[in-house]
Structure 1
């Protein structure tokens, strides 16, 4: 058995049976070995950023790693932005990066680069397999470390892949996520009934209905306020769950949301910071006289910690949850809120919503919050271009659930080739492109950082017209049925049709 065969067999035996791929010459023996291990599903993408973003979306929904297959340092570089998002969201992911054969490394071939250094910027674990005898054990460790530390990168030299002498390795045992100590929970319980306290939720707490309900019990029994992190990796939402408000993105609004807080208790989240520095403004929204307490941090069992806290601090308390409610279908011209109302009115049970609407998402979370149960995936690391790939990964992970991608127009172009993979896989994804013809988020940032300008040259760098992007033609050219809506009625009709018909669809919502 050669190294590639042993590697793939080991991955499959450890539960990694999907590989999002954009291979090259160095990875051809891995590609050939897919026929020897048919349990591994290979999903071809036309750009490495789609492969890494899809693996991120898959991991968020499946709760276990997918693999990627990338070509040398440049291929890893092309996938780096969405590996950054995966790292920030704590997604488990096994990143397999091919490299030159060991004998070829010293020749400084044109594609030679320092893969180890680049991989280290986004990986919690990096290993280079040095022989066929090592590769399966390295693969087993990569899966275990991905489950523990997020992105794990295994560098696979071409000759290690093609040489014989390898055997599959047994999966490694991964310890359950640690629980908070009883003394820690007791200490935090003492601050909940005193001064103004916020329970700041993220990670596994938001992904789990049980975690949210435990937090709501604490709030009902103690009077603490619940706030969710701004861009959670995955949030369970809908009727029967508490109405959680996210910490706003704009720094002024985030500071106002936490004003007066004396105790900030972190449950599955890290302490919030602003995305960027702004003149004359602190780097985070936490008041200076606020004490930050850690109930659980990412990687720990936040759900169990909250359930224990609820039993101790709020015994018998009943959580306040939302009754089922959906907005009325709007009429007339489309704007962001009308688009959000259409989505909220037609959202199907069990949907997965992938949100990269950015500035076009006004009202989107509000008008869907009390609808049918669904999951919501957010842009965790701020590197735009993750929405379309994440939807692909979510659809592969959950083929029986409808996926709805709400996608800003500018960021869609970063990874637009994901549509081709949608068509190839016949993924059940409905994409709504929010077409406002601009990088609207940067228009806001231009003012916020104090660099506002009425200059024509500055405005031109944020304008996506001249020529206008024809997403209908782009989608159809990659095999995805597409249409354009200019009114709320047209969007509702086209969204109904897309959701009723299997396979991928794209609807361009013209927002003005």
Structure 2
């Protein structure tokens, strides 16, 4: 058994069963091992930013890591944006990055680079394998380090890959469970909740599933506190039967107003709220200066146990939580814009759908209008780096093959990782991609005004950097050219007809929704 075979076997032994790949010469022995080791699904992606985003989407829905296979430092560099998103979302990923043979590095060949430095920007743990005999142990450690919510990167020199490993593969390793929250912090939180002050429980982090939402809603009702999620929690259970939870607004000015009366802010899996960017005259910290904040739990704490314990102590267990009813709007007619599109989505969204949201400005209308739709999971762009939605939909569909995945995608962000459509077609994934095509970087138009640059009004040259028409992109042609069925909608009726068809059939398809800018 060579090093690559022992590495791959170790990953499979640890229930890592999907590898998103874009290999090169240094990884050929790993590629060859795919034919020798059973149990690993290999998914080819045409760009490294696709495979890293796919690994993120897969791990969110599977609640365990995927692996990636990347070619040297430049390949890892191409993957950084979506590894950044995974890290900010506390999503586990195991990266395997091929390197030159150890004896070849001294010659500084054209693709030689400092992989450790590149990996360090987005990895919680980085290690270079030094021998074939130890590579399986290194792989097992990478799995352990990735755990429930970290990015682990293992660098694999080519000679370590092809050399013999007399020790063979490593069996399944134990993953550290989430850590308990200290008793003193729990007592402090309960005291604040029962103090009579204006309290808010803010939940975020890796996941707000249905049970967590219901528990925190019960606690809020028992204590008179408000409950709010952070802006972009990684995965959220939403729709009929899920708890009513406010969401912190994205715009700093609105978020400041949202929290203006809060005296006690208790953070559960969420970080202290801050503005996404700095703006002249707008504070970076969102909470009022007089507000006392308690970091009760991080995403690595045992949040389920924590919420159950607080609920018991404040007498919330028997309180009926407030949940969203199923309340579907009528199918819209007339003009197609983001509001009518949101109404149509709320009407047609199927039970247990997975919504991957990179709709950017369109999401400001879509998210609130789907609160009372059929129960579904919603994945947010947790790290803010665009080009994530299409790849994350690939990963989510592979993790959940029996669930419809709906990718809400801005036209500008789609072009960062449009190659993901090819992988959807190749793998025959049940993904509906909806492109909100306004032929602008609309969010940047909004941000231009908010920063006050040039008085908030772009000139001709500045405006040319914010518009992406001339020529207009033909997403129907782009999709069909990569094997995905696609049609265009420019009215609410046409959009509804395409949605209805997509929800009743399996397989990848794309709707190019021509909409005006929200602003």
Give the TM-score of the pair, scaled to structure 1. Answer: 0.98
| 2:119 is aligned with 1:119 | yes
Cα distance 1:333–1:444, how it changes in 2: closer, same or farther (>3 A)?
same
The alignment partner of 2:192 has SS state of: coil
Q: Could you say what secondary structure the match of 1:106 adopts?
A: helix
Residue pairs, 1:399-418, within 5 angstroms: 399-418=401-420
Aligned equivalents of 2:294 and 2:364: distance in 1? 32
The corresponding residue for 2:301 is 300
**CA offset at residue 165 of structure 1?**
2.4
Tell me if 1:271 matches 2:272: yes
Match of 1:471 among 462, 475, 481: 475
Provide the residue aligned with 2:366 in structure 1: 364
- Superposed displacement of residue 245, structure 1: 2.1
Q: What per-residue deviation string (whole Å, max 9, x for no partner) do you get for residues 239-279 of structure 1? A: 11122221111110010010011100011111111111111
Matches within 5 A, 1:96-111: 96-111=96-111
SS in 2 for 1:236: strand
CA contact (8 A) 1:125 1:149 kept: no
Say if 1:388 and 1:407, in contact at 8 Å, map to a contact too.
yes
* Residues 270 and 298 in structure 1, CA contact (< 8 A), matched pair in contact too: no
C-alpha displacement of 1:355:
0.3
* Contact residue 29 and residue 162 of structure 2 kept, 8 A: yes
Cα offsets for 1:9-44 (capped at 9, x unmatched) = 000001101000000000011001001112100000
Q: Does 1:460 align with 2:464?
A: yes
Show the counterpart of 1:438: 440
Q: How many residues align?
A: 511
State the superposition RMSD in angstroms: 1.0
Structure 1 partner of 2:283: 282
Give CA-to-partner distance per residue, 1:35-69, whole Å, 9 cap, x none.
11121000000000000000000000000000000
Which deviates more, 463-472 or 162-171? Answer: 162-171
- Note the 1:279-428 alignment, pairs <5 A: 279-315=280-316, 316-428=318-430
| 8 Å Cα contact 1:238-1:369 kept in structure 2 | yes
Deviation of residue 328 (structure 1)? 1.4
- Aligned match of 1:502 in 489, 502, 506? 506
What does the per-residue CA deviation read over 1:448-477, in whole Å, with 9 as the maximum and x for residues that have no partner? 111123411110111011000000000000
Alpha-carbon offset, residue 161 of structure 1: 0.4
| Equivalent position SS for 2:147 | helix
| 2:173 alignment counterpart | 172
Aligned counterparts of 1:32 and 1:19: Cα–Cα separation in 2: 14
**SS of alignment partner, residue 152 of structure 1:** strand
Uncovered stretches (5+) of structure 2, i.e. residues with no partner: none
For residues 432-461 of structure 1, what are the alpha-carbon distances to aligned partners after superposition, in whole Å with 9 as ceiling and x for unaligned? 000001000000111111112341111011
Give secondary structure in 2 for the equivalent of 1:490. Answer: helix
Mapped partners of 1:38, 1:148: distance in 2: 24
**How is 1:57-96 mapped onto 2 (pairs within 5 angstroms)?**
57-96=57-96
Tell me the alpha carbon deviations over residues 367-421 of structure 1, each in whole angstroms, 9 at most, x when there is no partner.
1112211100010101000000000000000001000000000000000000000
Alpha carbons 1:278, 1:449 under 8 Å: kept = yes
Distance 1:175 1:233 in 2: 21
Shift of 1:171: 2.3
Deviates more, 1:496-505 or 1:485-494: 496-505
Secondary structure (helix, strand or coil) at the match of 1:465 reads: coil
2: distance between equivalents of 1:359 and 1:191? 37
2:251 maps to 1:250: yes
Contact 1:399/1:427 (8 A) holds in 2: yes
- Name the structure 1 match of 2:35: 35
State the distance in 1 between where 2:364 and 2:269 align: 26
CA distance in structure 1 between the partners assigned to 2:47 and 2:11 by the alignment: 23
Aligned partners of 2:60 and 2:396 also within 8 Å:
yes
Partner of 2:138: 138
Query: Is the Cα–Cα contact under 8 Å of residues 217 and 244 in structure 2 kept in the other structure?
Result: no
Q: 120-129 vs 304-313, which deviates more?
A: 304-313
Cα distance in 1 for partners of 2:338, 2:239 equals 21
Is the 2:82–2:388 Cα contact (8 Å) retained in structure 1? yes
TM-score normalised according to structure 2 size: 0.97
Please report how far the alpha carbon of residue 170 of structure 1 lies from its aligned counterpart in structure 2 after TM superposition: 2.0
User: Contact (CA 8 Å) 1:351, 1:373: kept in 2 or not?
Assistant: yes
Q: Which residue of 2 aligns with 1:23?
A: 23
Does the CA-based 8 Å contact 2:352-2:374 persist in structure 1?
yes
Contact preservation (8 Å) 1:355, 1:377: yes
Deviations 1:316-370 (A, max 9, x none): 3221111111121111111111111111100000100000000112321111112
Deviation at 1:149, TM superposition (A): 4.9
Alignment of 1:51-62 (within 5 A): 51-62=51-62
What secondary structure is seen at the aligned counterpart in 1 of 2:64? coil
3-state secondary structure, aligned to 1:155: strand
Per the alignment, residue 46 of structure 2 pairs with 46
Mapped partners of 2:470, 2:269: distance in 1:
45
